Amino acid sequence: MMGLQEEEFQMPNFKQLLEEKDSEIMRLKTLLTKYVPKSELDQMSNSHPSTKIAASTATLESPENLCSQLSKEDVARYSRQLILPDFGVGGQQKLKKASVLIVGAGGLGCPAAIYLAAAGVGTIGVVDYDSVELSNLHRQILHKEHGVGTPKSLSIILAVSSLNSSVKCVSHHVLLKSNNAEEVISQYDIIIDATDNVASRYLLNDACVLLKKPLISGSALRFEGQLTVYNFDGGPCYRCIHPSPPPPETVTNCSDGGVLGVVPGTIGCLQALEAIKIAAGLGSSFSGKLLLFDGKEGSFRKITLRSKQKTCSLCGDNPVISKLIDYEQFCGASPTDKTETLHLLDDCSRLTCQEYKQLKEDSSPHLLIDVRPPEEVAICRLPNSVNVPFSKVEDPIEVEKIRNYIQKLDNKNKQVFFICRRGNNSQRAVQLLEPKLADLNVILRDIRGGIQAWAEEVDTAFPIY
């Protein structure tokens, strides 16, 4: 390792040495074998080395030329990757010239950004409209406690530039939408999708196909992650694989499903790796392939995807999409819809947190059923609530249990309240149980906004998750 490093530090002297001694020419040629194809070197040996090498400088980017573009600091900083046989000075130069846009400064975007900066990608752009929250810090590892409340895109570029001040960092504090996506994306060579919603996936895919940019797509939920590269090297685009979006209610986000921080960390690093490979001219291992990572099993699987489709409405033979569309309408959900708010029940079947608080203070007999999963109930719960997870609310054993609780209530107007995290499943539970408990002459109601509204409106010391 040291040998190569030392030789590269001496590069500026090579030209002079070349004119003086043939032995030095041989030494230079040995070094050249690392960067110049053998056929080119053979041709060089038939004529005067100095002229041949000068000619090759223009076309082949000899190390002499390449190294003159890397500063002494660059050589020292990147020395461990400069000596990589398939990467070398040429790869480093390409990285330095490359620009990568990371859309989403969250669990995937943070690790991707920091590894790209460490590797020496010339320009890194970061897009995010959101600000740092405390619940981000377990996985969005470039944001800091003192940065809670600051724009995520700014927080990332501060971390990136303190690691590598030679990287040009650009913060785009915007929600990427149809009206601004092309303007931002067109400024970069490679795009990383580190977002968390379907509308953004289609938007990025369409913009990348229209602007002919490779798209490195990642996702992570619970213990599992996925990675693929779209619109690269003749491979499919996102629409080739998913011509239409999934129903919004079938999509789970990290805020509802949970995620272990290392999982997006792993996928974000792999996104950075693919970006580095593409930028350095090494290609990608995931065009038309999907990586499935299972953190619980500790397994990686790579499967082959459907190839690029001739019938694809975007990248096929007769495309019908020639400009960006309204993705919120297309997907039935906006990129900022973190949580759904359902209105399933009439007002008379709903209670506000304040009304419930009053009822408790009046010691009015009632039953409070918490329909969150036990993992969430273990985080926090209201006193005297019973837990019947929503997934089991129609289970005959659970229904029987609820009937027994109700029968033990000793007032005439038997009141049963349902609570969940945000007030959606509690409404669904009322709807499902009303017919099953009709014979008990009982009033079923839900608590609007759930535990979260309680924490925000009634008891601010109550945890929010």
Residue number, nearest CB to Zn ion = 312
Number of residues that bind ligand ATP (CB under 6 A): 24
Q: State the minimum distance, in angstroms, from the CB of residue 435 to ligand ATP.
A: 35
One residue of 75, 241, 251, 254 binding ligand ATP per CB under 6 A: 254
Give the sign of the dihedral formed by CA 403, CA 404, CA 405, CA 408.
Answer: positive
- Binding to ligand ATP (CB under 6 A): which residues in 182-241? 195-197, 200
Residue 376 C-beta: closest distance to ligand ATP, Å = 14
Instruction: Choose from ligand ATP, Zn ion, none: what does 277 bind? Cβ within 5-8 Å by kind.
Output: none
Please give the backbone phi and psi of residue 446, each rounded to the nearest 5 degrees, phi first: -110, 160
Angle at 166 (CA atoms; ends 164, 169), nearest 5 degrees: 80
Sign (positive/negative) of CA torsion 12, 16, 17, 22? positive
- Catalytic sites, residue numbers: 254, 420
299-304 vs 289-294, strand pairing mode: antiparallel
Does 176 bind ligand ATP (CB under 6 A)? Our answer is yes
Q: For residues 152 and 239, which CB has a smaller minimum distance to Zn ion in the complex?
A: 239
Which one of Zn ion, ligand ATP, none is in contact with 312 (Cβ closer than 5 to 8 A by kind)?
A: Zn ion
- For residue 382 the two structure tokens come to 């209201």
Q: Are 318 and 128 in contact (CB under 8 A)?
A: no
Q: x/- string (CB under 6 A) for ligand ATP, residues 147-166?
A: -----x--------------
Residues 342-401 that bind ligand ATP (CB under 6 A): none
Annotated binding site for Zn(2+): 237, 240, 312, 315
Q: Please choose which of ligand ATP, Zn ion, none residue 128 contacts, taking the beta carbon within 5 to 8 angstroms, the exact cut-off set by kind.
A: ligand ATP
Interacting partner of 254 out of ligand ATP, Zn ion, none (Cβ under 5 to 8 A depending on kind): ligand ATP
Q: Does 104 bind ligand ATP (CB under 6 A)?
A: yes
Report which of 357, 340, 334 is spatially closest to residue 427, judged by C-alpha positions: 340
**Residue 253 interacting with ligand ATP (CB under 6 A):** yes
129 binds, among Zn ion, ligand ATP, none (CB under 5 to 8 A by kind): ligand ATP
The residue from 95, 124, 127, 275 that contacts ligand ATP (CB under 6 A) is: 127
Position 111 contacts ligand ATP (CB under 6 A): no
Does the protein bind ligand ATP through residue 8 (CB under 6 A)? no
Nearby residues of 106 by Cβ (< 8 Å), 6 or more positions away: 128, 130, 136, 139, 140, 152, 194, 195, 196, 264
Which residues of this chain interact with ligand ATP, rule CB under 6 A? 103-107, 127-130, 135-136, 140, 152, 175-176, 195-197, 200, 253-255, 335, 338
